[in-house]
């Protein structure tokens, strides 16, 4: 276990495949493969894999759908983070994790708030997959945190991070706002930090609440940056997804 070493800033960029369009996800992976780090397979995409099969109205349509799913995983070739966000009773999470790791994800995440035993069971059955613990979602507002946790995000993130470290996870998911404080904790020094919700200057934050720039997050100690719409929705006149990636690489290289 330990923090990753990057030979180039582009390895830090994790492109979020937040779409229900499997063919579109394949096109994006084909376009960006080798130019970014791991891809994120989120809930929308993983659900589309099942519902597309169930909803197929002919045998041929079902076969075509399965071939798309198979092609996507062949392209990913284990270089993906399965953004599972598991949060259930320990035995259920253990059983589900055993199924997910069969797809050979590089990373798999579980909510730290699912509890220490749940995290320990997922870690114990991870195979070669790194387990990440979600601290506090980057979309939660101050009011959300007050109601859900009874305190602001920052102290809650720290408590959950230390809790997850005791359970043996390999990494943590937090916002850019908490990176620097987590990096000061000796107990967390070997865990890598995955940071969603970063935005370059001038890019809309959309539904994200606790955000920062990619460059600042890395300078504060982030290892991976999860970036979706800034790349996937980039306009063709400005270079499209590929152009957005190269601009991010330039920003991180500065």
Q: Which residues are part of the catalytic machinery?
A: 85
- Three-state secondary structure call for residue 158: helix
β-strand 107-111 against 39-41: which pairing, if any?
unpaired
Q: How far apart are CA 54 and CA 121, in angstroms?
A: 31
Does residue 162 contact residue 149 with C-beta atoms inside 8 Å?
no
């Amino acid at each position: 276990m330990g923090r990753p070493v990057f030979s180039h800033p582009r390895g830090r960029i994790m492109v979020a495949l937040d779409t229900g369009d499997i063919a579109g996800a394949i096109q994006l992976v084909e376009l960006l493969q080798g130019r970014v780090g791991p891809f994120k397979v989120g809930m929308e995409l993983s659900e589309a894999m099942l519902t597309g099969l169930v909803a197929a109205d002919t045998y041929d349509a079902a076969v075509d759908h399965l071939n798309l799913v198979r092609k996507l995983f062949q392209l990913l070739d284990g270089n993906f983070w399965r953004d599972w966000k598991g949060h259930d009773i320990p035995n259920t999470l253990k059983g589900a994790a055993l199924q997910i790791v069969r797809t050979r994800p590089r990373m798999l995440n579980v909510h730290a708030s699912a509890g220490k035993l749940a995290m320990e069971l997922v870690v114990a059955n991870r195979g070669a997959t790194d387990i990440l613990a979600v601290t506090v979602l980057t979309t939660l507002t101050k009011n959300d945190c007050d109601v859900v946790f009874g305190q602001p995000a920052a102290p809650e993130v720290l408590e959950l991070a230390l809790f997850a470290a005791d359970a043996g996870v390999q990494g943590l998911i937090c916002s850019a706002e908490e990176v620097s404080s987590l990096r000061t904790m000796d107990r967390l020094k070997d865990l890598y930090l995955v940071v969603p919700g970063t935005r370059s200057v001038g890019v809309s934050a959309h539904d994200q609440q606790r955000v920062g720039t990619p460059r600042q997050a890395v300078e504060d100690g982030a290892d991976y940056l999860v970036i979706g719409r800034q790349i996937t929705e980039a306009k063709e006149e400005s270079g499209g997804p590929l152009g957005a990636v190269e601009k991010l690489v330039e920003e991180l290289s500065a």
